[in-house]
């Protein structure tokens, strides 16, 4: 799928020039997850830093009928982080800030989700809260 220059300008207005990967070489990094047998390169990769940017990118793609593929770290092994139809890949690499630590209830507030539990904790956090409490899984919820 070939994306129109106007669409690419709108994406850049949302995430900034440093938040766009459009070169063929740059996009090759995002063509597969850990399971490299299946590949599908996106037409463009966006690197949002906030939940609002993610929402605006998804809304723009929806309006323009452009496929969207979310990507975490690309560590999956089933081909879920590839774009077989092209379109826009929303890579979450830059969404790595902790906004709040709730020491009474072992959870964090991250830019993308209201409450997320994850690991590893920073050295400063580990001194205040046992790592096992922070790293408790939410998969069973």
Q: At what angle do helices 5-15 and 51-64 cross, to 10 degrees?
A: 160
With 80 as the cut, is the pLDDT of residue 128 above it?
no
pTM to 2 decimal places: 0.70
pLDDT, average across residues 103-128:
56
Residues 141 and 67: their CA atoms lie apart, in Å, by: 29
pLDDT attached to residue 111:
55
Mean pLDDT of 76-103: 79
The DSSP line for 115-132 is SB--SPPPHHHHHHS-HH
Domains in the chain, CATH or no CATH each: 5-91 (3.30.43.10), 100-134 (no CATH)
Of 7 and 141, the structure prediction assigns the larger pLDDT to 7
């Amino acid at each position: 799928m070939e994306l129109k220059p106007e669409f690419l300008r709108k994406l850049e207005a949302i995430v900034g020039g440093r938040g766009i990967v459009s070169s063929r070489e740059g996009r090759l990094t995002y063509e597969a997850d850990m399971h490299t047998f299946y590949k599908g390169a996106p037409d463009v990769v966006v690197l949002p830093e906030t939940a609002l940017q993610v929402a605006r990118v998804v809304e723009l793609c929806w309006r323009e009928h452009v496929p969207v593929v979310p990507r975490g770290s690309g560590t999956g092994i089933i081909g879920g982080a590839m774009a077989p139809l092209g379109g826009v890949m929303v890579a979450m690499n830059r969404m790595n800030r902790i906004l709040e630590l709730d020491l009474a209830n072992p959870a964090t507030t991250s830019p993308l989700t209201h409450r997320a539990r994850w690991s590893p904790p920073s050295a400063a956090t580990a001194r205040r809260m046992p790592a096992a409490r922070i790293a408790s899984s939410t998969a069973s919820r």
